[in-house]
């Protein structure tokens, strides 16, 4: 029976690897067809609605039709797709879904090979399967951090264009052309939406949805209010750019003051694992009762729950939002 399970796992891994290679090859060829085709590939537009022309965007989650349909009808998939968008991942959601499935099966097979205990067969698949999610979250975090640093310069360029007599979209195009990824890319996509017929307010709301950045939301709300009530938009852009720079300076001071607390938290979190690793190395059988006896397993579960609570509390204490 165990050989059948392992054989089925190897077959699934092989099929997924072939699909992943196919994904990568298709996306490589698609990238060579040009930047415009790559952008348009994300959108399917339909007409109808307000004033006869309302444009709706539909995401293609996978190049494989049946997998795309499965993902489209999966509850909660929109949140994962938003993570892929915010991370500006090179591959669609279907690729990372298959990769997570591949790593989950690999973790299960590895657990079967190393130790056939229930804990290993549950922990390893969950750990391996979550790696694509961790990777995307890390990509998103780095991209948003870079976007925040670029935003004040982008607002200054928009303000200068407005003072020179250009329209707001002209200032947006200037910033998109002058500033590199990610701000330039996102502003270009916003301009594309406006050129396709989406009104400026909705295009800016889409921009705020793609980039999870509080400073960007200030910009979007300010522009929308100015378009509805009037006012000096160039002056607003300059004030907002100055405000964001001051927030960055203050945030840097807070991070410096909280650095010692973060280091202490990291040491406290790592200490139990370091001690457990040293005990396993020096006396491999010493911790066996924790894995073989019911009371030991309950103690491990209780310890894990308390550690998770402690990590959450320490994270709240050292992460001071400006």
Residue 53 bridge partners (DSSP): 48
Neighbours of 49 (CB within 10 A): 10
Structural domain range at position 295: 250-318
Our count of domains for the chain comes to 3
Whether the Cβ atoms of residue 54 and residue 23 lie closer than 8 Å to each other: no
Asked if residue 71 lies in contact with residue 84, where contact means CB atoms within 8 angstroms, the answer is no
Task: Please indicate, yes or no, if residue 298 is contained in any of the structural domains.
Answer: yes
Using the predicted structure, report yes or no on whether residue 113 has a pLDDT greater than 70. Answer: yes
**Are 212 and 313 contained in the same domain?**
no
Task: From 193, 228, 245, give the residue that closes a domain.
Answer: 245
pLDDT value at residue 320: 65
Q: What is the DSSP letter of 74?
A: S
Instruction: Say whether 285 sits in a helix, a strand or coil.
Output: coil
Supply the pLDDT for residue 45.
38
Q: Are residues 23 and 105 in the same domain?
A: yes
User: Among 129, 154, 188, which residue terminates a domain?
Assistant: 129
**138 part of a folded domain:** no
Q: Are residues 161 and 196 in the same domain?
A: yes
Q: State pLDDT tens for residues 291-307.
A: 778 888 888 888 888 88
Residue 45 Cα distances to 59, 88, 193, angstroms: 10, 21, 11
Domain stops at, among 96, 129, 162: 129
CATH of the domain at 182: 1.20.81.30
Q: Give pLDDT tens digits for 58-109.
A: 567 777 777 778 887 788 788 888 888 888 888 888 888 888 888 888 888 8
Q: Between residues 6 and 88, which one has the greater pLDDT?
A: 88
pLDDT at res. 138: 92
Q: Looking at the predicted structure, is the pLDDT value of residue 21 above 50? A: yes
My answer on whether 297 and 195 are in the same domain is: no
pLDDT at 12: 64
Q: Is residue 139 part of a domain?
A: no
3-class SS of residue 211: coil
Residues 186 and 288 in one domain: no
Predicted pLDDT of residue 26: 57
| Rounded Cα–Cα distance for residues 223 and 214 (Å) | 15
Tell me, yes or no, whether 96 and 161 share the same domain. Answer: no
Digit-coded pLDDT (tens) for 194-246: 988 889 999 999 999 889 888 899 999 999 998 888 888 999 999 999 999 99
In terms of domains, do 193 and 281 share one?
Answer: no
User: Mean pLDDT over residues 46-56, rounded?
Assistant: 38
Q: Is the residue at 135 inside a domain?
A: no
The reported pLDDT for the residue numbered 46 is: 36
Residue 137 falls within a domain, yes or no? no
- Confidence (pLDDT) at 49: 36
String of DSSP letters for 296-313: HHHHHHHHHHHHHHHHHH
B/e letters for 187-197, b = 16+ CB within 10 Å, e = fewer, are bbbbbbbbeee
Q: Is there a domain that residue 136 lies in?
A: no
| pLDDT tens-place string over residues 154-170 | 999 999 999 999 999 99
Any domain includes 151: yes
For 238-294, write each residue's pLDDT tens digit: 999 999 999 888 888 877 877 777 788 888 888 888 888 888 778 877 878 877 788
Give me the sign of the Cα torsion angle 47, 48, 52, 57: negative
Tell me what pLDDT residue 115 has.
63
- Is the same domain home to 27 and 114? yes
Same domain, 42 and 149: no
Lowest mean pLDDT among 29-33, 106-110, 317-321: 29-33
Which residue is associated with the tokens 């406290």?
268
Q: 262 near 269, Cβ under 8 Å?
A: no
- CA 172/CA 161 separation, integer angstroms: 9
Whole-number pLDDT of residue 1: 46
pLDDT of res. 88: 84
Would you place residue 53 in the very low, low, confident or very high pLDDT band (cuts 50, 70, 90)? Answer: very low
Residue reference for tokens 């990238």: 31
Confirm whether 106 is domain-assigned.
yes
Residues 292 and 179 both lie in one domain:
no
Which pLDDT does position 238 carry in this prediction? 92
Residues 101 and 199 in one domain: no
The most confident of the ranges 36-50, 113-127, 246-260 is: 246-260
């Amino acid at each position: 029976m165990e050989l059948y399970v392992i054989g089925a796992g190897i077959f699934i891994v092989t099929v997924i690897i072939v699909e992943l290679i196919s994904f990568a090859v298709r996306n490589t060829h698609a990238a060579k067809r040009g930047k415009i085709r790559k952008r348009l590939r994300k959108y399917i537009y339909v007409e109808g609605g307000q004033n006869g022309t309302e444009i709706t965007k539909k995401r293609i989650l996978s190049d494989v039709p049946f997998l795309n349909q499965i993902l489209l009808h999966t509850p909660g998939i929109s949140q994962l797709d938003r993570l892929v968008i915010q991370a500006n991942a090179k591959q669609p959601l279907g690729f990372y879904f298959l990769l997570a499935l591949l790593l989950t099966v690999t973790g299960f097979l590895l657990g079967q090979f190393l130790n056939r205990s229930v804990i290993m067969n549950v922990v390893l698949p969950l750990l391996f399967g979550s790696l694509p999610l961790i990777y995307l979250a890390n990509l998103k975090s780095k991209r948003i951090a870079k976007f925040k640093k670029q935003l004040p310069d982008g607002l200054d360029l928009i303000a200068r264009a407005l003072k020179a007599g250009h329209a707001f979209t002209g200032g947006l195009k200037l910033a998109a052309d002058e500033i590199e990824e990610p701000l330039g890319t996102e502003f270009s996509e916003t301009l594309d939406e406006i050129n396709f017929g989406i009104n400026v307010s909705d295009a800016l709301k889409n921009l705020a949805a793609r980039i999870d950045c509080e400073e960007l939301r200030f910009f979007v709300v300010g522009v929308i209010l100015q378009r509805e009530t009037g006012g000096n938009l160039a002056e607003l852009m300059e004030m907002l750019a100055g405000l964001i720079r001051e927030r960055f300076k203050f945030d840097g001071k807070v991070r410096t003051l909280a650095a010692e607390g973060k280091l202490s938290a990291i040491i406290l979190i790592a200490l139990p694992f370091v001690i457990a690793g040293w005990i396993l190395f020096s006396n491999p059988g010493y911790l066996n009762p924790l894995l073989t006896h019911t009371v030991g397993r309950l103690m491990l579960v209780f310890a894990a729950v308390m550690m998770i609570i402690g990590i959450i509390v320490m994270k709240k204490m050292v992460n001071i939002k400006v």
